[in-house]
Amino acid sequence: MRPIGILGGGQLARMLALAAHNLGLRCRVYDPAADPPAAAVAKHHRGRFDHVEVLRQFGSGLSVVTYEVEHLPIAALEKLAGVVDLYPGLSAIRVASDRLVEKNFVNAAGIQTAAFAAVDRVEDVDEAIDRLGLPLILKTRTQGYDGRGQAVVQTRREAIRALRKLGGSDLIAESLVRFDSELSIIAVRSRTGQIAAYPLVENHHGEGILRWTLAPAPELDRRICRRAEKIARRLLAELDYVGVLCVELFRVGDTLLVNEIAPRVHNSGHWTIEGAETSQFENHLRAILGLPLGSTEANGNWVLFNLLGRTPDVRRVLELPGAHLHLYDKSPRPGRKLGHVNYRAGDPRRARVRLQSQLGLS
Ligand code: AMP
């Protein structure tokens, strides 16, 4: 079979390529960086994402193309989709790459989000404050991730300052949700229409970056799990989606609000490498190739702990029974995702505290 192409060569592409190896498949990654993390395990084509000709050349020798980043130039992708099948399709990227389009789309599907308003000038800030109240969270509509391109504002003055700092237009204001917990659900839909969903998980962020995930989410009412799966299935159907989709949620009591959707494999699903019958990476590949999906069942309780900025002593991780170390071969930088530990434990809340203190992780 011809190789599978992946746009983006970061750790997600690296883990996709590793899963592909087990199925006897090869991947090629396309990334503007000189030596991205996935280049160690897949052939790397260096090029800009808006460089249509180079992108088309990349696509022409492949069986199918997927992506590990959603902030991609749509016009270039349209051209690429003319030479090779692209999964998830363009409608998913169009929706997920713009927070305003995404929120309108989610609401139109009958699913709740935080209240929001488009902000393109000072008058819009006033209107948003009148309608949504304070505090607000202002975010750039495009390109923001891992908490970048957003600001929580308590006053009108702060809001005006944030408007300028975030570029002056093309923003979205959201009411600040007082959530009880942050959850996410990863679901997958194959080209054949087959759908499967992983258990709902509980996520903990610091400064907008995922710190750890408890999987499956502990102490959750079954009805909430069913509700989350229903939301994911609805979105998969609305988007005529192929591949893995992650839906990030706020839980307020029994209510679920969609925060954002990621049309790709997702950090909160890294526990599935050892923790589920079939990992999110393998199921994504199965889905885009039209192969039968594997079971998404968890084989225990897991803590997924992100290694940010620095890595712990490898020996101390490896001597912990139930711990699995994944490093992405990236050079350390403050806040950078360098790897993660998947840790199987009876009580995931306690296990997270133990893991953090035993490994000296912050
Ligand atoms: P995002 O980039 O939209 O995923 O936001 C990153 C993190 O910021 C989320 O995981 C939340 O912890 C927080 N956050 C984002 N939007 C809101 C909101 N409307 N209300 C409360 N917290 C939020």
Would you call 351 helix, strand, or coil by DSSP?
helix
Ranges of beta strands (E only) in the chain are: 4-7, 27-31, 43-46, 64-67, 116-119, 136-140, 150-153, 171-175, 181-189, 195-197, 201-206, 209-215, 243-252, 255-262, 302-308, 323-327, 337-344
- Give the number of other CB atoms < 10 A from CB of residue 254: 10
* Look-up of token digits 């069942």: 297
Closest ligand 1 atom number to CA of residue 248:
4
Distance of CA 207 from the midpoint of ligand 1 (Å): 9
For residues 197 and 232, the answer to whether their CB atoms sit within 8 Å is yes
Closest ligand 1 atom number to CA of residue 176:
20
pLDDT tens, per residue, the chain with 362 residues:
899 999 999 999 999 999 999 999 999 999 999 999 999 999 999 999 999 999 999 999 899 999 999 889 999 999 999 999 999 999 999 999 999 999 999 999 999 999 999 999 999 999 999 999 999 999 999 987 667 889 999 999 999 999 999 999 999 999 999 999 999 999 999 999 999 999 999 999 998 899 999 999 999 999 999 999 999 999 999 999 999 999 999 999 999 999 999 999 999 999 999 999 999 999 999 999 999 999 999 999 999 999 999 999 999 999 999 999 999 999 999 999 999 999 998 999 999 999 999 888 87
Distance (Å, whole) CA 213 – CA 225: 16
Residues with CB under 6 A from ligand 1: 114, 137, 144, 147, 174, 176-177, 182, 205, 208, 248, 259-260
Distance of CA 86 from the midpoint of ligand 1 (Å): 29
Nearest alpha-carbon partner for 103 in 119, 88, 125: 119
Distance of CA 152 from the midpoint of ligand 1 (Å): 10
The residue whose CB lies within 8 Å of the most ligand 1 atoms, and thus the one to mutate among 143, 145, 154, 259, is 259
For residues 209 and 306, the answer to whether their CB atoms sit within 8 Å is yes
pTM: 0.96
- Closest-CA residue, ligand 1 atom 1, reads 147
* SS3 labels along 225-256: HHHHHHHHHHHHHHCCCCEEEEEEEEEECCEE
Nearest alpha-carbon partner for 245 in 70, 27, 11, 115: 70
C-beta pairs of 216-224 under 8 Å, 24+ apart in sequence: 216/298, 216/301, 217/181, 217/183, 218/301, 218/348, 218/349, 220/183, 221/254, 223/254, 224/200, 224/251, 224/254, 224/256
Would you call 53 helix, strand, or coil by DSSP?
helix
Instruction: Give, in order, the Cα–Cα distances in Å from 184 to each of 31, 196, 208, 338.
Output: 27, 15, 15, 22
Distance of CA 292 from the midpoint of ligand 1 (Å): 35
Distance of CA 21 from the midpoint of ligand 1 (Å): 35
